[in-house]
Amino acid sequence: MADRSYNRLDNPVGYSLNENHRSLAIGNGLARRYPADTAPFVALAEDTAAGFADLAKIVSPGEAVPLVSPLPPAIPANWQVVRQRNMVQMVYDQDHSPVAPQTLFSFNTLTEKDVPAILALVELTRPGPFLPRTIGLGSYVAVCDGPKIAAMAGERFSLEGFREISAVCTHPDYQKRGYGTRLINYLIAKNLQAGSLPFLHVFEDNPAKQLYETLHFRQRKILTLSVIMHS
């Protein structure tokens, strides 16, 4: 049975790298990270000097990396915070029956050959980091208009019992057509069927938070996203 211990979501990157994405994990001891061409995120098992010492072994000096934590981390003197923001973690309300995608809804499953088009859309819409090998973290689906991606959504962090929905974005020329809503609904239904509860992250000032609430995501916790660098 999948582990539904919600407190594990306080450290979604760390648990993802220790569980379903452990084959991708770089590092040992108290620190882990994704490969630099897959996802920029790092994780600490504990916010201590020893944890940051282990992290320094897998992060190059001058490399800025994002760390997700339940509270602002206690940064040692040889590290600096490049920027820091609050981030809302939202979890799908499992008491609500998922909305099945419309019968006539047609979408494309994105693959490695689509990465250049994905990167172009991400550069335009800024939904969050997407790198050349991010496509390998999960399923990414899209509404396409010929070679152009009109809207996309996908899966990133993967914990036992939980699956993050990420990279939700719509090209400005295709907004207000409901494409993002239908793609998210598809991923919700897909993951619930697989026994994983969907969750996502959104900045506090992002108006998309209201959309996610209409799709029955509920705020669980405010987390801190710190982009850090060591000398």
CA separation for the pair 198, 37 (Å, rounded): 25
**What is the CATH code for 90-221?**
3.40.630.30
CA separation for the pair 188, 182 (Å, rounded): 10
Rounded mean pLDDT, 125-139 = 96
| 2-15 per-position pLDDT tens digit | 567 899 999 999 99
6-85+226-230 and 90-221: identical CATH topology: yes
Q: Where are the domains of the chain?
A: 6-85+226-230, 90-221
Rounded mean pLDDT, 153-162 = 97
| 21-37 per-position pLDDT tens digit | 999 999 989 999 999 99
Pairing of strands 31-33, 42-44: antiparallel
| CATH class (in words) of the domain with range 6-85+226-230 | alpha beta
Is the pTM above the cut of 0.85? yes
E-assigned strand segments in 131-193: 140-145, 148-159, 162-170
> Residue 100: its pLDDT value, please?
63
Type of residue at 65: V
pLDDT surpassing 80 at residue 102: no
Instruction: Read off the DSSP letter of residue 114.
Output: G
